[in-house]
Amino acid sequence: MKMFGTNGIRGVVNGYMSSELALKVGKSIAKVLGPGSIAIAKDTRTSADMITCAVESGLLAMGVDVVDLGMVPTPALQYYVKTHDDVVAGVMITASHNPPEFNGIKCVSADGTECSHEEETAIEDAYESEIVCPGWDGVGSVRRVSDAGEAYIDAVVRNVDADAIRKAGIKAVLDCSNGAASNTTPLLMKKLGVKVVTLNASPDGRFPGHYSEPTEDNLGDLKRMTAETGSDLGFAHDGDADRCVFVTGSGRYVPGDQSLAILGRSAVQKNGGGIVVTTVATSCVVEEAVKSVGGTVEYTAVGSPVVARRMISNGALFGGEENGGLIFADHQYCRDGAMSIAKMIEAVVLRGSLDEQVDSLPKFVTIKAAVGCPDNLKGATIKEIAHRHEGERINLTDGLRIDYDDGWVLMRPSGTEPKFRVYSESKDKAVAEGRSKRFLEEAGAVISSLQ
Ligand code: MG
């Protein structure tokens, strides 16, 4: 049975995500990722204690010792796992940006990266099997650690020019989305000497401020407050603070691919060259910005674990996805919201205001659409369209992408729904729209012919 989606196991609490499921998942994780100590942490959801206790009980029953970090961001758990040799894995209880009735279980490998697909499959197989627990004298114990959040923030501070930031007298607005960064990112602001106004910084799993996905629609207060308080920039986390999005001093929302471009360009400038990794679904704004300062871009399939693992193998400086999940090789190989904020503040201090930096980027138009396709026809559809476009610049890294001199199109099979997501990008709006329309028509005709 497939339990893991793109970001762990998720479900509605006391529906699919029951205490019984969490208990057995805990045992399965212990069987696959143990023996040894396993760290666990949670975000602010109302069901955090219920799911944490059940997973912990499963781990303990299997003889694993648990290090309980309490409520901290996902990247703080990942940093703890990476920096403690006696800890062999991590478990994060979070449903990230999902509505409040959801919760989830996400697994972390010994090096602090998100578990690979193979490890997740092994946990699913263990869940389906009969699990034998040790005797009464073989069960584990719990140790509670209260300073994992601060140790993580100290590491973030060490990875930027903190003196330059303190001297610059930056003003900012921070929206914690009532999530897991409600304690740690205000602490980061204090340590960097940033004068900060906070929004939604009380931990509250009902998410009274706004839903925990930091879309532009959810960030009206942040945009207004940033402009009205004369701040240099504003930023917002998602629920578990592995991601972050930005607004400029004038209150403009910065789309995730533009943050990627600005921070990729900044990393390459600071290093005097280097590689940036992103996915085939990311705007060419990243490649143009990175190339303009002498860097190179490599593309992977969609998914932050894929990006992180490519960065490890090719020695890239920086990578990420256009949803605000950004990975910094000098810190750790996972999406990191607090590190993203510190690096963006550093970029503003060293290279000029965020408004100016956004304005300096090349402008692209990306049309996002979808076409329905039964799951069993997705492979054949891609094969047929690739065949029809033989001789063109075809890339099959994730779905089908075709590059042109003035843009690209991508059709990616949705992992959760019977459809393809279709992207078309160009600097010329008419080109992007025309190509999107033609591609949708062609895909629709091919899918019909296969049915
Ligand atoms: Mg998240």
- Burial class of residue 192, CB neighbours in 10 A (0-12, 13-18, 19+): buried
pLDDT at 262: 98
Report the phi/psi class of residue 200: left, alpha or beta, with left for phi > 0 and alpha for psi in -120 to 50.
Answer: left
The three-class DSSP label of residue 186 is helix
Structure-token pair, residue 38: 């396993």
Ligand 1 mean position to 404 CA, how many Å? 33
CB atoms within 10 A of CB 313: 9
Distances (CA, A) of 35 to 59, 65, 68, 432: 10, 9, 17, 53
Q: Are 100 and 11 in contact (CB under 8 A)?
A: no
CA distance 380 to 396: 13
DSSP for 27-43? HHHHHHH-SSEEEEEE-
pLDDT at 451: 85
Handedness of CA 112, 118, 124, 128 (dihedral sign): negative
Positions of the chain with pLDDT under 50: none
- Helix and strand numbers (H, E) in the chain are 15, 21
Structure-token pair, residue 243: 């991601």
pLDDT at 4: 92
Cβ-proximal residues to 289 (8 Å cutoff; 6+ apart), any chain: 261, 262, 264, 265, 361, 362
**Catalytic annotation present for 96:** yes
Q: Are 357 and 285 in contact (CB under 8 A)?
A: no
Ligand 1 mean position to 112 CA, how many Å? 15
pLDDT at 416: 75
Ligand 1 mean position to 400 CA, how many Å? 27
Ligand 1 mean position to 440 CA, how many Å? 31
Ligand 1 mean position to 284 CA, how many Å? 24
Distances (CA, A) of 247 to 188, 251, 256, 284: 18, 6, 11, 21
Query: Which of 67, 71, 106, 61 minimizes the C-alpha distance to 85?
Result: 67
Phi, psi of 421 (to 5 degrees): -90, 130
The residue annotated as part of the active site, out of 28, 37, 57, 96, is 96
CA distance 295 to 315: 13
CB atoms within 10 A of CB 109: 18
Ligand 1 mean position to 242 CA, how many Å? 5
Cβ-count burial 269-298 (b if 16+ within 10 Å, e if not): bbbeebbbbbbbbbbbbbbbbbeebebebe
pLDDT at 176: 97
